[in-house]
Amino acid sequence: MSEADEGPGRRVVDGRFELEARLGGGGMGTVWRARDLVLHRMVAVKEVRPPDRDLAEYDPDSARMLRERVLREARALARIDHPNVVTIHHIVDGGEGTYPWIVMELVSGGSLADRLAQGPMPPAEAARIGRGVLAALAAAHEAGIQHRDVKPANVLLRSDGRPVLTDFGIAAIRETTSLTATGSIIGTPDFMAPERISGHEGGAASDLWSLAMMLYTAVEGHHPLRRGSTLATLAAVLNESVPPPVRSGALGDVLMSVLVRDPAARPSSALLDRWLAEIESGRGDPVTAWHQPTTPFVGAPAGTGQPVTSPVRAGRGNRPRPGFLLGVTGTSVASAMLLMWWLLPSGGDSGGSGGTTGTGASSFASSAPESTGSPAAAPAARQSKDTKDTTATTLLTSDGIRTAIKALQQESGRDRFGDFTVYDDFASAEMMVNGSDSKYDTYTYRLGTGVEKGIIKGTLAGGDQPFDLDGFDWNKVPKLLEEARKKLNVDHPNTRYVLVRQPNDTFGTPLGMAIYLSNEYSQSGYLDATPKGKVTRVMPAEN
């Protein structure tokens, strides 16, 4: 099935993926943080829908085309095995007349947009991020996929800082251009290459323009062509020269060599990677630059660029002439207007903070043990020796849970949580940063080991609210576990855990707890309860 099962405060997609919180949304749908009830891990689930939910009624051909394009894109993307490309786990497709759901990894380090909200980044850091995104684009281009919407919100950061390119939902796939509506040029205006705005399909070089404009914004702290309205921004991208950056050092010359309107005059991916590697390493040696023709782009490549050896300065002296807007066709103007309908993120922000991740979202994807329930602990920053418990055999008792909570609070110096889950042998928690209602650090408490601080940090997402655990009656946990054993229809369970369901303003979900059981045959069930231990819902496993 492609629709979610509805229940009081509960949506489950395909009988397996329970939606927990909205991470963000844009013109092509909404992304949710979800719990995989079979594999007991956190995932990101993208609900693919056009802005107009009645599209299937008055324009069934366009609705069919959208579904086919997304399915082709997701299946092609699933074949890309690259560490800088988000991993697709599963596609839920209900057939004609429905829209797909795409299940993917959940990256927990926030987006590049979140990082840039803290201020500009140094050129070397931007070059490192750029190389990771460039590697992802190269892998996608090799598979015949153009991204078409490279921007800070679509670059996610793993806990170690490595970038992951996501949201290929509007990607064009080579030899399937018939699946793109005539005139429906889609993308975020700020970062879209001028040839795409003018109504041309573009190619790999168009994605490189978007990458370079993103890095320019990252280092300079502003977008050079953003104006007060979407149409004004489109006109600026089409008609105005990119002003030379002032904070970027040698990286600025690299970026200016890409931000030329003739796609054929832009450097190749391999050459661009070599230049970025020079910047990342801190070396300022002269590199092979790219000489751009001076003819402005008017819809077709003006010729082939010729490599020349010089310090990277070519981008500043060979800017296209003004007057480019005169070459824009009537169809292109219509395409520009369609941008307003297709892809402006929720809230009308064209500044790159929309797309699949929302402001404050902890974003997609991670192999973090706090999310997956894996016995492996996150790398420790330090460890408490005062909170070890070498006598207990399980934490799933009232005393065991209290011991874990006390140890986590003492070690972190905090008493508010963003997440709290207890297994037999360890407890994981998101501990809120003092003075903040959104930022958290991760901690793990283990029997016989004590508390370990994880390397993962993040912000609460999609209406989630911080909470304290003072009002919970942990004495009811043994009784709840026994009730779960009797009512959840899970034969010989080999995994069990208790999690606190945080309050969520988006869903109107109150604070509570849940007991989960599963076995080696993927039978899984759970029951919900109030903080005082009163059962409010029982969801048994299916036979």
* H or E stretch at 499: strand 495-501
Tell me how far apart the alpha carbons of residues 260 and 314 are, in angstroms, rounded to a whole number: 11
Tell me how far apart the alpha carbons of residues 302 and 178 are, in angstroms, rounded to a whole number: 26
Amino acid letter for position 449: T
Map residue 251 onto helix, strand or coil.
helix
Displacement of CA 251 from its chain's centroid (Å): 26
Rg over alpha carbons for the chain, rounded to the nearest Å, is 25
- DSSP state at residue 383: B
DSSP 11-28: EEETTTEEEEEEEEEETT
| Helices and strands, number each (H, E), in the chain | 14, 21
Tell me how far apart the alpha carbons of residues 8 and 12 are, in angstroms, rounded to a whole number: 11
- Terminal alpha carbon distance of the chain: 19
Tell me how far apart the alpha carbons of residues 415 and 287 are, in angstroms, rounded to a whole number: 53
Long-range CB contact pairs, 379-382, < 8 A, 24+: 379/452, 379/454, 379/455, 380/452, 380/453, 380/454, 381/452, 381/453, 381/454, 381/455, 382/452, 382/453
Residue entry with tokens 């796609």: 263
Tell me how far apart the alpha carbons of residues 398 and 271 are, in angstroms, rounded to a whole number: 61
Tell me how far apart the alpha carbons of residues 294 and 302 are, in angstroms, rounded to a whole number: 9
Amino acid letter for position 412: S
DSSP 140-200: HHHTTEE-----GGGEEE-TTS-EEE---TT-EETT-GGGS-TT---S-GGG--HHHHTT-
The residues assigned a catalytic role are 149
CB 171 within 8 A of CB 177: no
Rounded alpha-carbon distances, angstroms, from residue 111 to 191, 272, 361: 16, 23, 8
Displacement of CA 177 from its chain's centroid (Å): 26
Tokens of 255: 């970026």
CB 14 within 8 A of CB 6: no
Tell me how far apart the alpha carbons of residues 277 and 283 are, in angstroms, rounded to a whole number: 9
Residue entry with tokens 């959840």: 488
Alpha helices in 94-173 (DSSP H): 112-116, 123-142
SS (H, E, C) 106-120: CECCCEHHHHHCCCC
Amino acid letter for position 380: A
